Amino acid sequence: MDITGKKLIVKALTEEGVDTVFAYPGGMITDILDELTKAPNIHLVLARHEQALIHEAEGYARATGKTAVCLVTSGPGATNTITGIADAHYDSIPLLVITGQVAKALIGNDAFQEVDIVGMTRNITKYSVTVNDRKELGRRLKMGFHIARTGKPGPVLIDIPKDIQLKNGDPEYPKEVHIRGYKPNESVHIGQLKKGYKLLKSAKRPIIIAGGGVKISKANDLLTQFAKKMNIPVATTIMGKGAFPEDDPLYIGNCGMHGRYAANMAIGNCDVLFSIGTRFNDRITGDLNEFAPKAKIIHVDVDTASISRNVVVDVPVVSDATLALEKLVEWAEEMNTEKWLREIYAWENENPLGMRRDKGMTPQMIMEGINKTFEKAFITTDVGQHQMWATQYIKLTKDREMITSGGLGTMGFGFPAAVGAAIALKEENKDVVCITGDGGFQMNMQEMATAINEGRSNITVCIINNKYLGMVRQFQQVFYGKRYIATDLKTPEGACVPEGSYVPDFVKWAESYGAKGIRVTEEKDIEEALKKAKANKKTPTVIEFVVSSEEIVLPMVKGGTAMTEMILK
Amino acid sequence: MGKVKKRWIALYVENEVGVLAKVSGLFSAKAYNLQSLTVGRTEHDDISRMTISVESDDITFEQIKKQLNRMVEVIKVVDLTDIPIHMKELLFAKIKQIGFEEKAEAYQIAQTFGIQVIDHDRDCVILESTLTERRNDELCVLLRRTFKHIDIVRGGSVAIEGVSTSCR
């Protein structure tokens, strides 16, 4: 018997095992929502803004490893998702975004809340399509799930006109789908990999760079075995942080713009660079001519288009990280890298990470407090200085993971991503810590309502409040002669409240939602506040850490210059 | 880097709404230098074939092919740059406000190039050319030099892989 499109949509979600849908209602999805009332096994999360909704879904997808499903209406509902979709695209997060669309007969008429969302998202999705025929609906949805989670994961957008939702048609949701133009790489070219391995084996000064692809492929343990068996030092990108144990002597830290001096020097001086799961973007390479100038480069990536795009490599290997590392672990033989490691440790001793401790509460102290208090936690960050401090000082382990907006650098990501992760980790009631700045937090702080309504007491928000849009202020401080413009968030002369104060009062703000608010201004109170937040099992907790505006992220590299030319002081 | 030169691709794609926009959008989004793009259905109703020319160096061209290949709607990418192909472009030229002598010259040009005069009036003729792109370029130069009032319409090249000969 034929069924309506909306019934088939809910059937598809059920058969795909979807238990959570992030939704925001609107005219063109009310029918689908109504149908969801008949699916008690699907929990619906009502966000407060569609951009934040996508970030919540991203946090959920990262915490569960599943494809997160989003449901929004046409027009502004759809356009509000764009930033989040672009973010997911950059950081390879599997999402299925269903947008309602005006009825087919109205498309092109400038109908109320009509936009060409497929056109707008074409190059920030893995796949985006309008379902023009009820007959195609099942296949398109199946394609969406398949494409989102296979190969290099990413967001898929399926736009469904209102009339298609209501039209009767085929009741079957396909069990599988064949797409002739989509063949994600599911094997590894052994000859090519062997060539890479031999090159690595012949090195005197080898180094491994691990990117986010290793984590996505769940190849952390394999990478660790491989590097340890061969005695090769490992640097990570920001997205790859956590792919290798940070307490291991072979770990030399993050590389790149705000990476560790030793890691960047090691890359600048290595003779063979083995990189896996990274796209070598400009934040990692700096001046391309000066990037690993003495090295032969082996590049393993699941995406052919990521290879030899930014950095021309000597041995390209198209492969999923797990597949490649399984083989490499098999082949791995011990190498003598003692001398090379001593060189790297000397660089580390020359310029270790560390802030001065004689000038009040520094961000470093807060990160150390989080390390100490939250042994098991899922950490999210926003974008800016606090993000870099988190990537520098938060120690990741098996039980302490972190996600961040690495590619797009989306301010406003951190808090909703934390809410989404907290929803995902509801059962185990794992702590979720959002490290954010006063700027980024204000971009999506309305999601406190979502957190409260979802009963998510396992969220601790740490706002590093330096009263500025700190990262840009840092540029202005270092590169623009301290001419500060558009970065001071304190109240100016002529504001409605006295000059030089700060709005909002984050403690009162948190309390207005029924959450707990704590303000910390001194080092001695850091740990106690974090402990209180952890112990609070009733509501989310917001801790505002008031820090100096002058603190900058060091070391740093000026955009477009060599990574070995770090500004250290 | 390899030298910057003109390169050709044949692209098999799903014959669906939005695919042309997606393919052409790639070129603008990534600042690739698209020179010409033609598209039409193949022997299969649900598959279209595009003939695309770009001007790029080796590395960029490799990247273009990879980027095209990973599009869900792209079924196959064929690099036509260095293989035997037959390639032609349709061109119409309307030569206007001409007298007897100029008209005679138009006919001579048509004869020289081996193309057709397909329409004719007292002070106007239309030429139809299906030559290679390069030959059409030369024709255009000559027409512009010889006549004052001309309309030129070009269709972009289509190409097919050669069997035992090549003409490009």
Q: Nearest chain A Cα to B27, which residue?
A: A123
Active site residue A392: no
Q: Where in chain A is the domain with CATH 3.40.50.1220?
A: 190-350
The H-or-E segment that residue A46 falls in is strand A43-46
Task: Report CA-CA distances (Å) from A145 to A138, A141, B166.
Answer: 11, 6, 45
* B78: contact with A, CB 8 A cutoff: no
Residue B13 pairs in a beta bridge with B48, B74
Q: How far is CA A130 from CA A88, A561, B17, B34, B109, in A?
A: 20, 44, 9, 27, 50
Please give the CATH topology (third level) of the domain spanning A3-169. Answer: Rossmann fold (3.40.50)
Distance between CA A22 and CA A43 in Å, rounded? 9
Indicate if the alpha-carbon torsion angle A68, A71, A74, A76 is positive or negative. Answer: negative
CA distance A546 to chain B (A): 42
- With contacts defined as CB-CB under 8 Å, which chain B residues touch A309? 63
For residue A122, the distance in angstroms to the closest alpha carbon of chain B comes to 6
What pTM was estimated for this model as a whole?
0.96
Per annotation, catalytic residue among A15, A66, A104, A113 = A113
Residues 99-138 of B with CB under 8 A from A: none
- Is residue A473 packed enough to be buried (19+ CB in 10 Å), middle (13-18) or exposed (0-12)? buried
Answer yes or no: do B70 and A305 touch at CB < 8 A. Answer: yes
Cβ of A181 and B26 within 8 Å?
no
Amino acid at A414: G
Going from the C-alpha of A315 to that of each of A195, A198, A210, A291, A353, the distances in angstroms are: 7, 11, 16, 16, 33
Q: φ, ψ for residue A486 (rounded to 5)?
A: 60, 20
The CATH H-level superfamily of A363-546 is Thiamin diphosphate (ThDP)-binding fold, Pyr/PP domains (3.40.50.970)
| Extended strands (E) in A271-376 | 272-276, 296-301, 315-318
Nearest Cα residue in chain A from B46: A180
Q: Is the peptide bond before A352 cis (omega within 30 degrees of 0)?
A: no
Question: Which of B26, B29, B73 faces A181 most closely, judged by CB atoms?
Answer: B73
Which residue spans of chain A are classified as CATH 3.40.50.970?
A: 3-169, 363-546
Test mutation, B72, B73, B75, B76, chain A, max A CBs within 10 A: B72
Contact residues, chain B, for A89 at CB < 8 Å: none
ipTM for this model: 0.92
Instruction: Domain A190-350: give its CATH superfamily.
Output: TPP-binding domain (3.40.50.1220)
Flag if A181 and B13 touch (Cβ within 8 Å).
yes
B62–A308 C-beta distance less than 8 A: yes
DSSP H or E stretch at residue A331: helix A321-331
Q: B-chain residues within 8 Å CB-CB of A147?
A: 72
Domains of chain B with CATH codes? 5-79 (3.30.70.260), 85-161 (3.30.70.1150)
Q: A119 in contact with B at a CB cutoff of 8 Å?
A: yes
Q: Which residues contact A455 (CB under 8 A, 6 or more apart)?
A: none
Identify whether the C-beta of residue A432 lies closer than 8 Å to the C-beta of residue A421: yes
Flag whether residue A121 sits within 8 Å of chain B, measured between CB atoms. Answer: no
Q: Please indicate whether, in this complex, the C-beta atoms of A304 and B14 are within 8 angstroms of each other.
A: no
Residue-wise DSSP of A47-100: -SSHHHHHHHHHHHHHHHSSPEEEEE-STHHHHTTHHHHHHHHHTT--EEEEEE
User: How do the pLDDT tens digits run along chain A, 569 residues long?
Assistant: 999 999 999 999 999 999 999 999 999 999 999 999 999 999 999 999 999 999 999 999 999 999 999 999 999 999 999 999 999 999 999 999 999 999 999 999 999 999 999 999 999 999 999 999 999 999 999 999 999 999 999 999 999 999 999 999 999 999 999 999 999 988 999 999 999 999 999 999 999 999 999 999 999 999 999 999 999 999 999 999 999 999 999 999 999 999 999 999 999 999 999 999 999 989 999 999 999 999 999 999 999 999 888 888 999 999 999 999 999 999 999 999 999 999 999 999 999 998 878 789 999 999 999 999 999 999 999 999 999 999 999 999 999 999 999 999 999 999 999 999 999 999 998 999 999 999 999 999 999 999 999 999 999 999 999 999 999 999 999 999 999 999 999 999 999 999 999 999 999 999 999 999 999 999 999 999 999 999 999 999 999 999 999 999 999 998 889 999 999 88
State the amino acid at position A530 in one-letter form: L
For residue A254, the cross-strand partners are A236
- Tokens for A58, please give them: 């991203």
